[in-house]
Amino acid sequence: MAKIDQINSNFKGKDILSLDQFDNKSLQTLFSEASKMASLAKSASLPDTLKGTLTTLLFYEPSSRTFGSFSAAIKRLGGQTIDIQNPSQTSSVAKGESLSDTVKVFENYSDTLIIRHPEVGSAVKSAAAASIPVINAGDGAGEHPTQALLDLFTIHQRFGSLNNLTILIAGDIKNGRTVHSLLRGLILFDNVTVYLLSPESLKLSRVELEDLTKRGSKLIEITSEQEIPKDANVWYWTRVQKERFEDVSEYEKVKHSFVVTKKFLGTYGNDNLIIMHPLPRVGEIAEEVDSDHRAVYLTDEMRNGMYIRMALMSLVLGRV
Ligand code: NCD
């Protein structure tokens, strides 16, 4: 197994596999770089920091946002990508090639490798096989660190800090990898209370709940909208992860347990919260909410994804 290095504010050459690699200071380093990228992008003066670098995007699971966001981030800084989507059907993987062989091949061509794969632990496995930095773009129901980094950046940008916040996370807490990474990031801040709203069957695994609680998370599990705290700063909604269900009828039963509509927001929300979602949404936030001043999922959150990935790639490739 690969060693999972702590970042300790030095990203150069490191794998990015889990939010557990980060401390508060490393997040601040990344956020300050991402803020620079945001202002350079606004003044149309982005540098070609990644010129001469080549990144392999190896995506075994469907993706448009994360794939597009990494690709845009790299190309806007002058870097290039080798794009492999769905290799299970389109490449030697279809002939039975192992994940580590595929990784070993592409490290000969590129400076970093970004991987999305349906198996928990696949990114760690890839990092063990590779001698170039590997970035986890989602390993099954495991983690999705870059999504959590952009989510934390979005919350930080809006509230000026990640301390003293009340966060509501709703939907598929059990299978949602963005949630698993976000919870690991929120541990790093003071006085953060997290409410986890889900149907019984989609609660966080007991092992993970215990682990995060031991490490200092204040997690409150709720199963009804009536229990949503009135003073929440963030509503983080998620999709029920259909692809993780063995029985589709079980998915059908829970898929729309909690749907944000204007009415729902009026009843359980407050005027100062922000509404986030990693996307794609499949009905758990009604389109009528998109124009609400609190909705950031199609705007700030998405743009920040590109800025955070620009910052991360520059730091990992030692171009800062
Ligand atoms: C998420 C993912 O793939 O985990 N999407 C994303 O990367 N933006 C969330 C999801 O698919 O529900």
CA of 154 to the centre of ligand 1 (A): 16
Sign of the dihedral through C-alpha 86, 91, 96, 97: negative
E-strand spans in 238-304? 274-276
Determine the longest span between alpha carbons in the chain, in angstroms: 56
Distance from the Cα of residue 170 to its chain's centroid: 15
Nearest to 133 by CA among 162, 163, 103, 154: 103
Residue 303 has pLDDT above 70, yes or no: yes
**Residue burial 200-234, b: 16+ Cβ < 10 Å; e: rest:** eebbbeeebbeebeeeebebeeeeeeeebeeebbb
Determine the atom of ligand 1 nearest the C-alpha atom of 144. 4
45-54, 83-92, 127-136, 286-295, range with the lowest pLDDT? 83-92
Mutation choice for ligand 1 from 63, 71, 144, CB with most ligand atoms inside 8 A: 144
| Each residue's pLDDT tens digit, 116-165 | 999 999 999 999 999 999 999 999 999 999 999 999 999 999 999 999 99
**β-strands 80-85, 193-197 pairing:** unpaired
Residue 17 has pLDDT above 50, yes or no: yes
**Residue burial 99-109, b: 16+ Cβ < 10 Å; e: rest:** beebbeebbee
Amino acid at position 96, single letter? G
Determine the atom of ligand 1 nearest the C-alpha atom of 65. 8
CA of 199 to the centre of ligand 1 (A): 20
Residue 54 has pLDDT above 70, yes or no: yes
| Each residue's pLDDT tens digit, 162-178 | 999 999 999 999 999 99
Going by pLDDT thresholds of 50, 70 and 90, the confidence category of residue 21 is very high
Total H helices, total E strands in the chain: 11, 9
Active-site residue list: 65-66, 95, 116, 144
Direct distance between the N- and C-terminal alpha carbons of the chain, in angstroms, rounded to an integer: 29
Mean pLDDT of the chain: 96
Going by pLDDT thresholds of 50, 70 and 90, the confidence category of residue 95 is confident
Q: Using CA atoms, how far apart are residues 150 and 47, in angstroms rounded to an integer? A: 21
Share of the chain above pLDDT 70, in %: 98
Q: Using CA atoms, how far apart are residues 158 and 138, in angstroms rounded to an integer? A: 25
Please classify residue 175 by burial: count the beta carbons closer than 10 Å to its beta carbon, then call 0-12 exposed, 13-18 middle and 19+ buried.
buried
CA of 279: how far to CAs of 11, 179, 202, 241, 298, in Å?
Answer: 27, 12, 18, 11, 8
The H or E element that residue 85 is part of is: strand 80-85
Residue 7 has pLDDT above 50, yes or no: yes
Ligand 1 contact via 177 beta carbon (within 6 Å): yes
CA of 178 to the centre of ligand 1 (A): 7
Residue 117 has which token pair?
């794969």
